[in-house]
Amino acid sequence: MAVPYARVTDAYGGFFGNPSATLPATAPVAPKPAATTNATANATKRMLNTTANKTQSYTLNLFIQPDPFAKKADNAATIAAATGTAALAAIDGVTKATYGSMTAKAVAVTEAKVAWNKKPQAIGGSKVITITGSTTTTAYVYCGVDKAASRRFRMLNTTAAANTTAAAPAPAPVAAAPAITSLQSSAASQSMNIQR
């Protein structure tokens, strides 16, 4: 199953090569099961073999997001692909020798309704733009950057004291950006590089 890295995330929203900003400093530790005693073993003081038949399991919780450009998400197909023999064989080819065979199960999750709590605002800098905002619940936000370099130039301050002696050059004509109303639209995919 060929899925872009950015669409397979951990429980904190991070993905391959891009750890989440909210990732805890230490991983949560699963509670240990209550200790049990063997009355016969305690009575005879028999030394138990603590290394024989010892198994360790590793659980990974991942979220596979639908393609944001698809007209309709097919959850059943995604579940079948994520748990199918081809996906398991591909993972086993990397991990089986060290960690043993793996099993996978997947279920569809229902998305929560989300809205802007504070609409995005941008503050320009010398080399960066800082975009801030917040949503009513935990959510992924997508940012589109125009592919046309002529529409991505930083606007310089032409009224600063150093520039008052010369007339500001006339700006070059720039074609208007197409109206974007949906990430799924062809206008969005053709005119913008979109990143979550």
Local confidence pLDDT in tens for the 196 residues of the chain? 567 777 778 777 788 888 887 777 776 666 666 555 555 555 555 555 555 555 677 788 888 877 766 778 888 988 998 899 998 998 889 888 888 888 889 998 887 888 999 998 888 877 788 888 899 988 877 777 788 877 765 555 555 555 455 555 666 665 665 566 676 677 777 888 877 7
| Exposure b/e, 94-112, CB count within 10 A at least 16 = b | eeeeeeeeeeeebeeeeee
Question: 63-91, pLDDT tens digit by residue?
Answer: 887 776 677 888 898 899 889 999 899 88
Q: Could you give the CA distance from residue 120 to residue 132 in angstroms, rounded to a whole number?
A: 5
| Length reported for the chain | 196
Contact residues for 187 (Cβ-Cβ < 8 A; gap 6+)? 178, 179, 180
**Helices (H), ranges, the chain:** 39-44, 75-83, 85-99, 186-191
